[in-house]
Structure 1
Amino acid sequence: MKREARFLISRKPFAIDLNTLTATQSGSTGRFILDGHANALWFRRRKGVTVACIGTLHLWAHYLTERVDLDDPHAILSADLDGRYGGDCQGRWDGTGYWGAENPDVQEQHLAILRLMLAKYPALPPGYDGWWTYQAPS
């Protein structure tokens, strides 16, 4: 992933809660596998409408040539991660409707974050690090 200085929705960036980032690695000389997860927030466009999303990112790479410092969240995120699947959305708010969890308590937690996030678009949400993208530098 690459950390970008400014927000561009077309680059499909993620804001990541570094406190939730976990990763493990295995492998031998010249070929290392990294597997991890982190909670994340992101904006996307659906049918011409900007939506705020909450969910998790699966952080993985199967062909790293060097070990990654697992004590450094930025080192993990800066590794050559495979992001072909993007984030696993668990809740989405478009300003009028919510899609996601059926549990009312989880809905309330999601909406507390997503409403504020959409209202302050495109500001980086408090407590999150970003903006991180899987896309190659332009």
Structure 2
Amino acid sequence: MIREDRFLISRKPYAVDLASLRGSVQTYENGRTSYRGRIDAVWFRRRRGETVACIGDLWDFQDTEPESAREFLERHNDGRYGGDCIGRWDGTSYWGNVTLEQQEQHLAILRPMLANYPAIPDGYDGWWTFQGGAR
């Protein structure tokens, strides 16, 4: 992934919580290891002609454990699956299969996020994208 200063929804950018990186190193029978990591993210998408705010995470398997969340993102180069969306706000309704408490936590981020489109929510770093650099 690369970090861009300019927001372009067509590049499918993500804002991430750099403090949320979590993962573990797995060792296989042949001695090979891999790092399975996840980082919390939010993003905007167009859905049926409307802009929506999404919350979830980005995940990746990497050969070694990264030194930092930035390194994890910079080494993350396979964006075909996108983010795992666990909650979405379209301005009138919430979608997600989470507890009411989690829904309220999500809406505390998603409501102002959508209202302030395309600003990066407080506590998040962005915009990270799998697309090439801005032209």
Shift of 1:102: 4.2
CA contact (8 A) 1:38 1:59 kept: no
C-alpha RMSD of the superposition: 2.2
With normalisation by structure 1, the TM-score equals 0.83
State, as a whole percentage, how many aligned pairs show the same letter: 56
* Segments ≥4 residues shifted beyond 6 Å: none
Match of 1:131 among 111, 117, 127: 127
CA separation in 2, counterparts of 1:51 and 1:129? 19
With normalisation by structure 2, the TM-score equals 0.85
Q: Spell out, residue by residue over 1:99-134, the C-alpha distance to the aligned partner (whole angstroms, 9 max, x if none).
A: 003421111111111001001100011000110001
The alignment of Structure 1 onto Structure 2 pairs a total of residues equal to 130
Name stretches of at least 5 consecutive residues in structure 1 with no aligned partner: none
Residue type at the aligned position of 2:75: A
Equivalent residue number for residue 40 of structure 1: 41
Q: Spell out, residue by residue over 1:59-114, the C-alpha distance to the aligned partner (whole angstroms, 9 max, x if none).
A: 2346xxxx67x222212211152121000000000001110034211111111110
Q: State the secondary structure of the residue aligned to 1:124.
A: coil
CA separation in 1, counterparts of 2:33 and 2:91? 43
CA separation in 2, counterparts of 1:72 and 1:57? 15
CA contact (8 A) 1:14 1:41 kept: yes
The question of 1:114 aligning with 2:110 is answered yes
Name stretches of at least 5 consecutive residues in structure 2 with no aligned partner: none
